[in-house]
Structure 1
């Protein structure tokens, strides 16, 4: 794992997100609710969330994928960490996985919508800066 930012103390708030791609190389994005009090309302993001107390990021992302979208993935790979400096302040661990099915059939429990997007269409979407950075780093590191 490559680390962007180190945790300042054991009490640093943590989170985990997953960049999920299908066999066509499209990315699964999640349109967040437009509610006051949540980080990045009405933005497209990847699935994930905060770690519970004493929960490791890998455990958190598995739980969050299930809770938010009833989604189970195989081959989850830990990528890197980025701090959400302008939102929650959490140190976010990014994971990658692949999943090939119809996203419209997932039982979405949070947010507005799930949709696969081709990487070339991401520029027109409103995406939190730290998520966009993570997606771009992941895409740049993938084999052509």
Structure 2
């Protein structure tokens, strides 16, 4: 028998999101400085672009929508990588994707957050990045051919 009500814990467990590790031809990663607002997870942290899936929306569709909504971005070679849970933030299961894009990030119409910027992988350690995003980036970089 299924209940008509779900707890916040059950909703968080079912919630899904999608993010994209976007890399340019120089091997730099596109990061997004999140707004410093009390009602968002990982406020004032550098992260990758992405967001929550709408009800019934597949992560692959969500990431295409989120990239367009947040930055007017259409990335090339979008590839699904792996899933992880944002244990200390939203609680969502997050699907990581990779993609390539070689444009000028300062020219993108940023609709959310403070800033977009490409960073060389060796400079990521000095940035404040959510742990699950940092782990996902390291996992991606470790598996990537040099």
What is the TM-score normalised by the length of structure 2?
0.91
Unpaired runs of at least 5, structure 2: 1-9
State the shift of 1:133 in Å. Answer: 0.3
Between Structure 1 and Structure 2, how many residues are aligned?
Answer: 136
- Matched residue, 1:106: 108
Unpaired runs of at least 5, structure 1: 1-7
Q: How big is the alpha-carbon RMSD for the aligned residues of Structure 1 and Structure 2?
A: 1.2
Q: Does 1:128 pair with 2:120?
A: no
Greater Rg over alpha carbons, structure: 2
- Matched residue, 2:87: 85
What is the TM-score normalised by the length of structure 1?
0.92
CA offset digits 1:18-55 (Å, max 9, x no partner): 00000000000000000011000000000000000000
CA offset digits 1:78-103 (Å, max 9, x no partner): 00001000000000000000000100
Q: Which has the higher helix share?
A: 2
Map residues 1-144 of structure 1 onto 2, 5 A cutoff: 12-144=14-146
CA offset digits 1:53-75 (Å, max 9, x no partner): 00000000000000000000121
Runs of 4+ in 1 over 2 A off after TM superposition: none
CA offset digits 1:6-29 (Å, max 9, x no partner): xx99x7100000000000000000
Paired with 2:28 and 2:37, the residues of 1 have a C-alpha distance of 27
What is the DSSP-based 3-state SS (H/G/I as helix, E as strand, rest coil) of the residue aligned with 1:62? helix
Paired with 1:73 and 1:13, the residues of 2 have a C-alpha distance of 24
